[in-house]
Amino acid sequence: MPSIPFGSFQEIQQKWENLLSVCPADTLYLTPQWQEVWWETFGDGREMAGFLIEESEEVMAIASLSRQNGVVSLMGSPETFDYNDFMIRPGYESIFFPELLHRLAKTEFGTLQLYSLRESSPTLQHLPDLAKQQGYSVEISEEDVAPGVALPASWDDYLAVLSKKDRHELRRKFRRLEAMDTWKWYCISDEDQVAARLDDFLTLMRMSDTEKAEFMTPRQEGFFRDMARRMSQLGLIKLFFMELEGNLVASSICFDYGSSRLLYNSGYHPDYSYYSVGLLLHALCLRDAIEQGKEYFDFLRGSEPYKYHLGGQNQILYQMVVKQS
């Protein structure tokens, strides 16, 4: 079945969203809005190489790809996409992956790079053997981890899941914070309010970690602002703040997508680290997710210790490189 190239995200947005909703790979990072913001920010020097496959006017698969210097890769990057994959209607894998390799062969590509594939990815299950049969070399390696925790029905049930030590430490830190009379936390999700308070978040983010400060280049900040705007328009963003003694001391950006809450990034004031304000705001975000009926709290990419203190269990992320032999 012939594949159809596409040159913009908007031209197939409705079909894209309909397909994504039934895909096992469904994630925030595969929405056309997220991908469009990335392309507008980082697309210089690349060309779109994506295509879709339709059957009876219904989209069965979408490959969102870009090409640069003979390398074809999934749209995005590990720095801005915690998860990535092809979008394939269940049961259509045996048609999609041969078409993918056929289409790539016609373009005389040198390398196919696939980043941030989850353990459950259909791509990991179907593509390696097929590519090897057609004479390609395939390398698969662990790229990172993305801890998360399945959420029970109540906060007390969640605390019971933690190790005895982590449960004791979390309660102790909350008691120390609650002994202060002047502290509060709150959430902002309105588009205008998010835009107005994003500077506060970025300030705390830069203050809390030199690596985060160095990462937030002008281009990255542009992406961050555009992404926050688009996600707030979709009603997906949750911007949390904590104040102590009248000062902003911590902030977290989360996204509510489907039955999950994703902790995307955060920052805190180092002068208030004694009160564990960063960790406790994460815990409050998690408690709020339980109260909102979410089923999974996703700490996303990275093995920072706080994720495990809050009950995170690793999900391994893989990368795959397919080359012509």
The domains of the chain are located at: 3-145+316-324, 148-298
From CA 323, how far away is CA 310, in angstroms rounded?
A: 40
Fold classification of 3-145+316-324 (topology level): Aminopeptidase (3.40.630)
Q: How confident is the model at residue 2 (pLDDT cuts 50, 70, 90)?
A: low
The pLDDT of residue 288: 98
Q: Which is more confident, 183 or 7?
A: 183
Mean pLDDT, residues 282-294 = 98
In this chain, the answer to whether the domains covering 3-145+316-324 and 148-298 adopt an identical fold is yes
Mean pLDDT, residues 155-173 = 97
The pLDDT of residue 153: 97
DSSP one-letter code for 260: E
From CA 88, how far away is CA 53, in angstroms rounded?
A: 9
Fold classification of 148-298 (topology level): Aminopeptidase (3.40.630)
DSSP one-letter code for 131: H
- Torsion sign, CA atoms 281, 283, 289, 292: negative
Per residue in 91-133, pLDDT (tens digit) is 999 999 999 999 888 877 789 999 999 999 999 999 999 999 9
From CA 287, how far away is CA 248, in angstroms rounded?
A: 20
Q: Which of 245, 100, 132 is nearest to 184 (CA)?
A: 245
pLDDT score of 266 more than 80: yes
pLDDT score of 144 more than 80: yes
Per residue in 32-65, pLDDT (tens digit) is 999 999 999 999 989 999 999 998 888 999 999 9
Percentage with pLDDT > 90 across the chain: 85
Mean pLDDT, residues 211-216 = 84
What is the value of pTM for the model shown?
A: 0.95
Alpha carbon dihedral 283, 288, 294, 298, in 10-degree steps, equals: -30
Per residue in 299-312, pLDDT (tens digit) is 999 999 999 999 99
191-208 and 218-233 are packed helices; what angle lies between their axes, rounded to 10 degrees?
140
From CA 190, how far away is CA 234, in angstroms rounded?
A: 10
The pLDDT of residue 1: 57
Q: How confident is the model at residue 271 (pLDDT cuts 50, 70, 90)?
A: very high
DSSP strand pairing (71-74 vs 111-118): parallel
Asked whether 299 and 317 are in contact (CB, 8 A), the reply is no
Percentage with pLDDT > 70 across the chain: 99
From CA 169, how far away is CA 316, in angstroms rounded?
A: 27
